[in-house]
Amino acid sequence: MSKNKYISQEFQETFERYLMDNMNKEETDGFINKLEADADLKKAFQDFKQMFLAVEEEALREELNTFHKDIPKLDITHKKTNKTRFYLIAASITIFVFIGGSLFFNKQTPADKLFATYFSPDPGLPTVMGNSNNYKFYEAMVDYKQANYKTAIEKWEPLLLEKPKNDTLNYFLGSAYLAEANFDKAITFLNVTTQNSKSVLLQDAYYYLGLSYLKQNNIKKAKENFEKSSNELSKEILLQITHLER
Amino acid sequence: MGDNIGYNQDQIIKGFKQNDSSILRTIYSNTYPKVRSHILKNNGDEDQAKDVFQEAFVVCWRNIKDSKFSNTGSVEGYLYTIAKNKWTDYLRSATYKKTVVKSKLTNLQIVADNDLADEDVAQENIEVLKQALSKLGEQCKTLLKQFYYERKSMNEISETLNITPASARNQKYRCMEKLKALSLDLKKHE
């Protein structure tokens, strides 16, 4: 049987009867024995079986699409509502808290507003892995940059045992606590950084200290720290504070 | 949802082997909502759910025909598992690119290649044949579909096509011969 020549009609019909389960037990056994004894026949059968499967599969796929049309569409509004509802609730709570905070309870002070305008967490240091000494520090930096401040804090705090006065470590612990709105802790750590007058982070540490005190409505301490910081934002915020005081 | 009212496991398996439309439809409509719900909960959308489910359905159908499905579990459970695994594979493939180091990825691919080599070749042939099928004339397509998939008799087919049963039988042979020739042509030009 030549490789490329198609099988005879007789063979085709025998193969069909086998594949379509139309043979009795005796005939099936005889057919299988023949296949096992004749490699060419077996190959011809396998080729035919693939054609048979291809025709079937193509038809099945068409039919699956027909079945699919009968599937009740997932109530898109319902589905969306599930997600949207979550956001709506979240948004309403946020709005309520804001409105509640500023109007109803009238608790948002001008200092809070200033803080909200100026505060954004320090973006963190580039995390270049490889320096094994600092591995743990930078591992936590990855968390910090992903705004997983609690995890970063958990990883950084044990490092203080070795380097309690390290300006960078204290600075980022302060920043992380500030981002977590834990102002007392933020002040404690940032104050350690400002004790190192040579720290490259000194100006920023004063700035964030200023913001922490501002948020605590300690305007005097806030001003002191902004005044010590040479960064542009500190100067800007100082002007604003002066307006506040008028 | 979940019970195949009126069908027992043997009937379902037989239904898959014989392409019984009402059984296939029942399994489809019973299982799809569960798969969709899983995929929607796991970062997918409805179109992805449909694609993954239909691919899984074809695999399930093929495995039942090849007697690869062990009769112990339910067909629906089996189909659901295939679809779920397919979705997991899809999610992994997207994240693998970012997280797995290159050496590990190479190992994974080698293992996968060895495992799937034979099935891949068979599946590739079927893909070529499906392309060839699209090049057949409409009459051939209808005839082959009615005979091989819908399992209609030559008499029934001859009626729908308005030809004699003998002519239908001959046409079926000619159409398959043509399909074979077209697929060989496609392979030559690959």
Tell me the per-residue pLDDT of A109-128, one tens digit each, with 9 for 90 and over.
Answer: 788 888 887 888 887 877 65
Q: Which two tokens stand for residue A186?
A: 């933020």
Cα gap A194→A229, rounded to integer Å:
10
Residues 6+ apart with CB under 8 A from B5: B26
Shortest distance between the Cα of B45 and any Cα of chain A, in A, equals 11
Q: Which two tokens stand for residue B88?
A: 């997991």
Mean pLDDT of A8-33: 94
Q: What's the burial of B58, exposed, middle or buried (CB within 10 Å: 0-12/13-18/19+)?
A: middle
Q: Which two tokens stand for residue A89?
A: 């609730």
Residue A73's pLDDT band (boundaries 50, 70, 90)?
Answer: confident
User: How many CA atoms are closer than 13 Å to the CA of A184, on its beta-carbon side?
Assistant: 0
- Of B86, B13, B81, B89, give the one whose Cα is nearest residue B55: B86
Q: Which two tokens stand for residue A70?
A: 């009968």
Residue A142's pLDDT band (boundaries 50, 70, 90)?
Answer: confident
Of the candidates B21, B130, B151, the beta carbon closest to that of A54 is on: B130
**Interface contacts A/B by beta carbons within 8 Å:** 89
Q: Is the pLDDT of residue A100 over 80?
A: no
- Is A40 an 8 Å CB contact of chain B? no
* CB-CB contact of B53 with A67 (8 Å): no
Partner-chain contact A51 B129, CB within 8 Å: yes
Q: Give the B-side interface with A, CB within 8 Å.
A: 17-19, 21, 24-25, 28-29, 32-33, 36, 40, 46, 50, 54, 57-58, 61-62, 122, 125-126, 129-130, 132-133, 144-145, 148-151, 170, 173, 176-177, 179-181, 183-184
Interface test with A, best of B149, B167, B182, B186 (most A CBs within 10 A): B149
Region class of A242: left (phi > 0), else alpha (psi between -120 and 50), else beta: alpha
ipTM of this predicted complex?
0.85
Backbone phi, then psi, for A72, in 5-degree steps?
A: -60, 130
Cα gap A84→A76, rounded to integer Å:
11
* Residue B44, pLDDT score: 87
- Is A3 an 8 Å CB contact of chain B? no
- Is A53 an 8 Å CB contact of chain B? yes
Least reliable range by pLDDT among A72-86, A173-187, B122-136? A72-86
- Of B53, B63, B48, give the one whose Cα is nearest residue B32: B53
- Of A131, A126, A124, A115, give the one whose Cα is nearest residue A148: A124
pTM for this entry: 0.56
More confident residue, A169 or B96: A169
Shortest distance between the Cα of B31 and any Cα of chain A, in A, equals 11
Mean pLDDT of A91-113: 63
Q: Which two tokens stand for residue B78?
A: 């089996």
Partner-chain contact B176 A47, CB within 8 Å: no
Q: Is the pLDDT of residue A229 over 60?
A: yes
* Residue A120, pLDDT score: 80
Residues of chain B positioned with their CB less than 8 A from the CB of A65: 54
Of the candidates B32, B54, B144, the beta carbon closest to that of A55 is on: B144
Q: Which two tokens stand for residue B7?
A: 């069908």
**Long-range CB contacts for residues B131-136, cutoff 8 Å, separation at least 24:** B131/B183, B131/B186, B132/A54, B132/B179, B132/B182, B132/B183, B132/B185, B132/B186, B133/A54, B133/A55, B133/A58, B133/B179, B135/B182, B136/B175, B136/B178, B136/B179, B136/B182
Residues of chain B with pLDDT under 50: 1-4, 96, 100-115
Cα separation values, A153 from A49, A130, A211, Å: 64, 21, 20
Cα gap A45→A8, rounded to integer Å:
12
Question: For residue range B105-158, what is the model confidence (pLDDT) as tens digits?
Answer: 444 443 344 445 666 777 788 889 999 999 999 999 999 999 999 999 999 999
Residue A95's pLDDT band (boundaries 50, 70, 90)?
Answer: low
Q: Which two tokens stand for residue B66?
A: 């090849």
